[in-house]
Structure 1
Amino acid sequence: MKDKINIAMIGLGGRGSGLMEMILNNAKDVEVAAVCDLYEDRREAAANKVEQERGKRPAAFARYEDVLAMTEVDAVVIGASWAAHIDIAVAAMEAGKYVASEVGGAYSIQECWKLVETYERTKTPIMLMENCCYGRDEMMVMNMVKQGLFGEIVHCSGGYLHDLRDEIAGGEENRHYRLQEYIHRNCENYPTHEIGPIAQVLDINRGNRMLSLVSVASKASGMQDYIKRKKGEDHPLAGTRFHQGDIVTTIIRCARGETITITLDTTLPRSYSRGFTVRGTRGMFMEDNQSVFIDGQHDEYHFDWKSQWGNAESYYEQYDHPVWKKFVNDGVKGGHGGMDWLVFEDFFESVKTGKPTPIDVYDMAVWMSISALSEDSISLGGHPVAFPDFTNGRWVTRR
């Protein structure tokens, strides 16, 4: 087991630089040996930050290939644009570096297979850094499911429900990749925040798998309306046609018979939510009103459920996940309510011990494949599209 590890940060925009700062502040046994970004100002700012915090200036590169040539680097953290994730991840696995990849969707099924095939050949672990799998509510619900509180699970739903109009509209000046994604593509482009926790509830790749999906997209009106109203009729994007539908709805069938509904809703005015909902034969959890309904306990509130909104908090004492009990006791740290730190804590532990990552290449491939499959389904008018079995049948016995 290693006492200290050296990492490289690849991609230093808003997310990458934020993660680096969290690591510098909280992981004293992790050294940032290199920083990498195509933009000189970003990599110089990152190098300055590391030197300021740790007293030693990291190597700074524009090319990720130069980072991967550094023998002292144990692992890479990929926070670059979505389109670059898999290419960098594959190259890093080839170089024998543990990989922490930020989330996003795949552009083709072929590149998902490339991830799997590279891992199986090199045996270099990779982890999709889906922080929502480490949310307090998500982990509590997982605990409830495993203890049978909701009975047999029948259906789950969730979404990425986040008004991103300002971020997308500012893509040119802020050098943010999301703008071009919304102009050119039409798919479920960000599925893993909701599908990660749902997949864990339903044992996907570990006794269950996703069989097929159907996706449909609404028209795309939100961005053009927003830009004209907020930026003006003469704004360069005012006449741009956005292909990304304002609402994308995807329904997934699973091998054990469960269904999943996920929703992408990012270009219309709304409040933030991930809409995490779990339905079983004996009860349910609903994120949007923070409630738990248990058969036989809450029947009298059937027509007056509003009085029970927020009751999920009362279940922490009995069902809070052990990871979160310890985390709360020790002091919550890191972004997004602490889940950013927990996902990285698990990754760093894997790097130090040489053990497999808890969210592995097969999870990464199937979760990310939803974007590519949904794009096909939408283009075919909502036709069902089959999921590949990235485990080649091992989902039956994997645990």
Structure 2
Amino acid sequence: MSRNYKWHVVVMLWFICFFNYADRQAISAVFPVLQKEFGFDKLQLGLIGSAFMWVYAAGAPLAGFIGDRVRRKDLILGGCVFWSFVTVTTGWCGKLWHFVTVRALEGFGETFYFPASMSLVSDYHDKTTRSRAMAAHQSSVYAGTVLGSWIGAALAERFGWRSGFYLFGGLGLVLALVLYKLLREPKRGESERNPNEVAPEVALPLGETLRAIFRTPVVPLLMLAFLGANFVATIFLTWTPTFLVEKFGFKLAAAGLSGAAFIHLASAVSVPLAGLMADRLSQKRRGGRILVQAAGLLLGAGFVWGIGHATTTPLVIGAMTAFGLCKGLYDSGIFASLYDSIEPRARGTAAGIMNTVGWGGGALGPLFIGWASKNGAGTEIENMSNAIGLGALAYVVAAVLLVIAAKKASQR
């Protein structure tokens, strides 16, 4: 294996994660079309958006537990085949329960990806490059979100809403087959040990795994902060295109592109810089990565409020861009900060539990917006605007939790 192979791994996983997010985001981009064609109201659309997240969250601990015991390469590529096929079947849907079912199945397939992939990356990259590697990988989340939303909406306008699901699902199936011979499985803890050490290959029992995860209060604090950050993130992933169409008069394709591009391209710019900053700060003090994340959430809270209350297109675009820059600071350390407190043989399970907490709670975000839009005192779009602005509170609470976690980490 070449010395650069650890970065080749990041590139390969980048493309898998791209389709992971493009597949899940394509549905939100066509919400206005589904609303018109099938008569779905906002609460029903929120249910479609949340069905993915609930199953994704519920299956994550099992996915992580399995990922600590079998070849992660098989889970990553097998999951890609499964969720890509389910993406194709989304184009066959015609009723509400069809959409809810396929989104739930998509969540089940995709829940295996992050616990396995982040554990695998951590075995190629030690603490000196881990934030940068995971930040580089994180950029695929933004690319998949932007292009999944834009291409899904553009294809819906020209060829019908089903075409985007056929495209993304088909390409994902091809990618999994191509990478099967290129992606290699490292030993557990390979990046943590000296060349002459023998890594323990025996998996930890469940009890010892849980003790390894929760032996410090830093871990639950990180997980609760992830919940708060995801509550806001899922709102924007699900509702931004609809928000731009109804409040600012965007066309569907423009809303699909703008709703993702300004936030996530800004995050793509800031996340590698944040990863570099976090790697360097972590060498100087314990909890350094966490402080970078806390700064992102605290700064971002004001821009979340600004998006909800913007009255003109330039204002909302400016607020979305600034929010995206702040979001990148947080995203750079989601798993790198966690793994500073977790031994290699428990990292898959830790990531799975973190996804359960973050996405299980975060799944309430789209439903909250759908419910608030129908039940507030103003018009639907006025109610939606106010509800989006309230997301700033979740960011502030999450930032406080991270500051506490950083202090606890520095005392260890």
Give me the TM-score of the superposition, normalised by structure 1.
Answer: 0.28
When you count strand as a share of all residues, which structure comes out higher?
A: 1
Larger Rg: 1
When you count helix as a share of all residues, which structure comes out higher?
A: 2
